[in-house]
Amino acid sequence: MQVTLYEDELYEKEIIKEESLQFIVFRVYDEWYAVEITRVKEIVKVETITYLPSSPAHIVGIINLRGNILSVTDLKMIFGFPKTDLTRDSRLVVVESGLVESGILADEVCNVVEVSVSRIEPTLATIPSERAEYIEGEFQDNDKLIGILKIEKVLDKREQI
Site for other proteins, rule CB under 8 A: 50-55, 59, 62-64, 66-71, 99-102, 155, 161
Q: How far is the CB of 108 from other proteins (least distance, A)?
A: 23
Closer residue to other proteins (CB): 25 or 63 = 63
Q: What is the DSSP letter of 18?
A: S
State the amino acid at position 150 in one-letter form.
K
Q: What is the DSSP letter of 97?
A: E
Closest residue by Cα to residue 90 from 67, 60, 66, 116: 60
Q: Three-state SS string across 23-82, please?
A: EEEEEECCEEEEEEHHHEEEEEECCCCECCCCCCCCEEEEEEECCEEEEEECHHHHHCCC
Q: How far is the CB of 76 from other proteins (least distance, A)?
A: 15
Q: How far is the CB of 88 from other proteins (least distance, A)?
A: 19
Q: How far is the CB of 70 from other proteins (least distance, A)?
A: 7
Q: Hey, what long-range contacts does 128-135 have (CB within 8 A, 24 or more apart)?
A: 130/78, 130/79, 130/80, 131/78, 131/79, 131/80, 134/75, 134/78, 134/79
Closer residue to other proteins (CB): 31 or 101 = 101
Closer residue to other proteins (CB): 53 or 122 = 53
Closer residue to other proteins (CB): 114 or 156 = 156
Closer residue to other proteins (CB): 63 or 120 = 63
Q: How far is the CB of 52 from other proteins (least distance, A)?
A: 6
